[in-house]
């Protein structure tokens, strides 16, 4: 597996309205930190007109966000350029809103033949029902549902991994 983490639209104006955002951000940040330690490429996006990426995410990422107008990341030229540059076969998705940008990105990635993991504890919508329906649809279309912690351990593969202790410290946070 050659993964990339796609961090979708965790922006201030929208995040404050998302159900369960504190837990979502805590889980997403753990996954971001683990991916950084493991050297897994991360692509951050921002939807136009929704403000800056939330502080929790900005503090753990040092990359410039891809600014997009389209809901699907895959319909943004700069995102496609970065994705091709990274060259993953698997994309791990976290972000908001589950039923809009995360869903449309997942469907387009699947349509292009990528393996797609969705960290269900790291995505959200303003309304829980919208998230539930989005998850059903993504899974029905072939996305792999998981949690951030399950994905972290799948990336590690073994307790003998040289970064295991460092990653374990992240998993045990909060």
100-113 tens-digit pLDDT: 999 999 999 999 99
Under DSSP, is residue 71 helix (H, G, I), strand (E, B) or coil? coil
Q: What total number of domains does the chain contain? A: 1
Separation between Cα atoms, residue 16 and residue 160, nearest integer Å: 39
pLDDT at 1 over 90: no
**Percentage of the chain modeled with pLDDT above 90:** 86
Edge-to-edge strands, sheet with 90-96 = 66-68, 42-47, 3-8, 90-96, 115-124, 144-146
| pLDDT given for residue 174 in this prediction | 64
pLDDT for residue 4 is more than 70 = yes
Asked whether the predicted pLDDT for residue 137 surpasses 70, the reply is yes
Q: Which candidate, 95, 128, 122, places its Cα nearest to that of 10?
A: 95
CATH number at residue 136: 3.40.50.850
Report, as an integer, the average pLDDT of 30-47. Answer: 96
Mean pLDDT of 73-98: 97
99 vs 124: CA distance, rounded Å: 8
Question: Quick one: average pLDDT of 120-140?
Answer: 97
Cβ distance 44 to 57 under 8 Å? yes
pLDDT of 172 higher than 70: yes
Q: Which domain holds residue 83?
A: 3-171
Q: Scanning the structure block, which residue is given the tokens 């993953």? A: 88
Contact 122, 96 (CB under 8 A): no
Q: Are 45 and 71 in contact (CB under 8 A)?
A: no
Q: What is the pLDDT of residue 173?
A: 79
pLDDT of residue 131: 97
- Whether the ω angle into residue 97 lies within 30 degrees of 0, i.e. cis, is yes
Global confidence as pTM: 0.95
The yes-or-no verdict on residue 159 having pLDDT over 90 is: no
State mean pLDDT over 57-79.
Answer: 94
Average pLDDT, the chain: 95
Res 34: pLDDT = 95
Q: Where are the alpha helices (DSSP H) in 12-159?
A: 12-15, 21-38, 55-58, 77-86, 103-111, 128-141, 148-156
Contact yes or no for 74/95 (Cβ under 8 A) = no
**In which residue are the tokens 């979502």 written?**
24
């Amino acid at each position: 597996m050659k993964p990339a983490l796609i961090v979708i639209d965790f922006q201030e104006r929208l995040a404050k309205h998302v159900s369960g955002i504190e837990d979502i951000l805590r889980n997403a940040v753990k996954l971001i930190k683990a991916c950084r330690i493991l050297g897994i490429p991360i692509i951050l996006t921002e939807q136009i007109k929704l403000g800056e990426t939330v502080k929790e995410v900005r503090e753990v990422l040092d990359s410039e966000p891809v600014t997009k107008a389209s809901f699907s990341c895959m319909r943004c030229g700069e995102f496609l350029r970065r994705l091709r540059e990274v060259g993953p076969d698997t994309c791990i998705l976290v972000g908001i809103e589950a039923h809009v940008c995360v869903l449309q990105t997942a469907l387009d990635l699947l349509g292009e033949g990528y393996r797609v993991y969705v960290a269900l504890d790291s995505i959200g919508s303003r309304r829980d029902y919208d998230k539930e329906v989005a998850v059903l649809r993504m899974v029905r279309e072939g996305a792999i549902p998981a949690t951030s912690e399950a994905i972290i351990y799948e990336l590690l593969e073994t307790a003998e991994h040289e970064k295991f202790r460092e990653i374990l410290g992240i998993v045990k946070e909060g």
